[in-house]
Amino acid sequence: MSCLKLYEPINTLKAIGDDIWIVDGPKIDFKLYGLKLPFPTRMTVIRLTGGRLWVHSPTELTPGLKAEIEAIGEVAYLIAPNRIHYWWVADWKTAWPAAKVHLAPKVAEQAGDRLEDVDGELGPEAPQAWRDDVDQVLVPGSFMAEAVFFHRASRTVIVTDLIENFELDRITCFWLRWLVRLAGIHHPNGKVPPDLRQTFRLQGDEVRKAVEKILAWPAEKVVLAHGKWYRENGAAELARAFRWAL
């Protein structure tokens, strides 16, 4: 039996603003210190000016989800925002061969031959292809870098593992609830897990500058991959969650 209650319905588009959707996906098992920790998954889809689709951290591609995606536009960009979030990109690339794959640093080496067709590495500035609609910044770390994005029209910031915000009442296993409490990554005060936070400290000045750019965005919403996302007060939630970097 799963330790997590998923964000049903899963594998379906959920509009959160004009031209922006999330998809709550299945759980994945993340290996840490010999344990398999169940994580919920979430991706974000943005329809860019002109109708092309930008897909962040793709989740499992089911036939039903594929049909929903095709109904709103053509997939043009597939984004792997850090070295942990790349697994389903290959399946989406197979479904939309013309889509361009953009990876955060270190994703290619982590993915190996699972991702052979790569078009670009995500950097500190958004490429011309989507900068009019989506801004970005790269937060560098010794274990991984994470690209963070801002959808201008909906005023939505999109993070992946730099904020995790598990809801304790959705965790049914005592041991997992205890671990989440210990790490301090539970709603309403989600943040980066402490072990991951340490991997960003050696790049202190670069991380601080990246976070300052994130905090300068006029955010209303904050979408994240694991746990409850923030529908309002986005700027305040970001300021709270990123205090450690300033």
User: pLDDT by residue (tens digit) across 148-194?
Assistant: 999 999 999 999 999 999 999 999 989 889 989 999 999 999 999 99
Q: Considering the domain boundaries, does residue 67 fall inside one?
A: yes
Q: Are strands 156-158 and 221-223 parallel, antiparallel or unpaired?
A: parallel
Place of tokens 């389903």: 88
Q: What does pLDDT average to over the chain?
A: 94
Residues 6+ apart with CB under 8 A from 75: 52, 53, 55, 69, 92, 95, 96, 99
Full-model pTM = 0.96
Q: Considering the domain boundaries, does residue 57 fall inside one?
A: yes
Long-range CB pairs of 232-236 (<8 Å, 24+ gap) are: 234/155, 234/156, 234/157
Q: Considering the domain boundaries, does residue 42 fall inside one?
A: yes
Q: Considering the domain boundaries, does residue 8 fall inside one?
A: no
Q: Considering the domain boundaries, does residue 1 fall inside one?
A: no
Q: Considering the domain boundaries, does residue 7 fall inside one?
A: no
Give pLDDT, residue 204: 86
Tens of pLDDT, residues 100-112: 999 999 999 999 9
- The CATH number of whichever domain residue 172 belongs to comes to 3.60.15.10
Domain count, the chain: 1
Residue 172: domain span: 13-245
